[in-house]
């Protein structure tokens, strides 16, 4: 406690933190996002610690991720083609199969790929997908 009082009595002022304008921060972040740019070099050129510039980058990228509009789901054009004519062998095979008792076949897992673009990255699902697990993963990623 005495040290604090002695400091005050000596008239020595504590150094204030520098405050930077938002436009200046934005400009440096844009410079650092250019491919091939060195964040450390940009920070040195502007007499900053590189950690401060990295912090500004993280903040700005988070803000952009939250404010970026999510693209609407797009539909692709689909054309339905007529079924090709069957050959005589295919027709006779179908006739034989129709007369034989039908055995239910086990369903194969749906083979496909689902890609979901989120602000923090892309989720890629392949094969059979458990809906509850997907919901938990997406909610966890959106909560970050």
What secondary structure, in 3-state letters, does the chain show? CHHHHHHHHHCCCCCCCCCCCHHHHHHHHHHHCCCCCCHHHHHHHCCCCHHHHHHHHHHHHHHHHHHCCCCCCCCCCCCCCCCCCCCHHHHHHHHHHHHCCCCCCCCCCCCCEEEEEECCEEEEEECCCCHHHHHHHHHHHHHC
pLDDT-derived band at 102, boundaries 50, 70, 90: low
pLDDT-derived band at 124, boundaries 50, 70, 90: confident
pLDDT-derived band at 53, boundaries 50, 70, 90: very high
- Is residue 83 one of the residues assigned to a domain? no
Provide mean pLDDT across the span 31-52. 93
Mean pLDDT of the chain: 76
Q: Most confidently modeled of 17-26, 70-79, 87-96, 134-143? A: 17-26
- Is residue 58 one of the residues assigned to a domain? yes
Number of domains the chain contains: 2
Which residue has better confidence, 110 or 93?
93
- Is residue 122 one of the residues assigned to a domain? yes
Q: Is the pLDDT of residue 130 over 90?
A: no
- Is residue 10 one of the residues assigned to a domain? no
Q: Is the pLDDT of residue 93 over 80?
A: no
pLDDT-derived band at 109, boundaries 50, 70, 90: low
Give the residue numbers spanning the domain of 128.
Answer: 113-143
- Is residue 35 one of the residues assigned to a domain? yes
Which residue has better confidence, 41 or 87?
41
- Is residue 45 one of the residues assigned to a domain? yes
pLDDT at 26: 93
């Amino acid at each position: 406690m005495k040290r604090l009082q002695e400091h005050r009595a000596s008239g020595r002022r504590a150094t204030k933190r520098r405050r930077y304008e938002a436009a200046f921060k934005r400009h440096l972040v844009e410079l650092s996002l250019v491919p091939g740019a060195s964040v450390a070099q940009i920070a040195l050129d502007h007499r900053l610690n590189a950690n401060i510039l990295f912090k500004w980058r993280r903040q700005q990228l988070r803000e952009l991720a939250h404010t970026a509009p999510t693209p609407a789901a797009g539909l692709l054009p689909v054309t339905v083609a007529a079924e090709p004519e069957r050959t005589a062998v295919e027709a006779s095979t179908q006739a034989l199969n129709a007369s034989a008792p039908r055995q239910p076949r086990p369903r194969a897992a749906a083979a496909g790929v689902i890609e979901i673009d989120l602000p923090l990255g892309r989720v890629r699902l392949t094969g059979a997908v458990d809906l509850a697990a997907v919901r938990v993963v997406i909610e966890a990623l959106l909560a970050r």
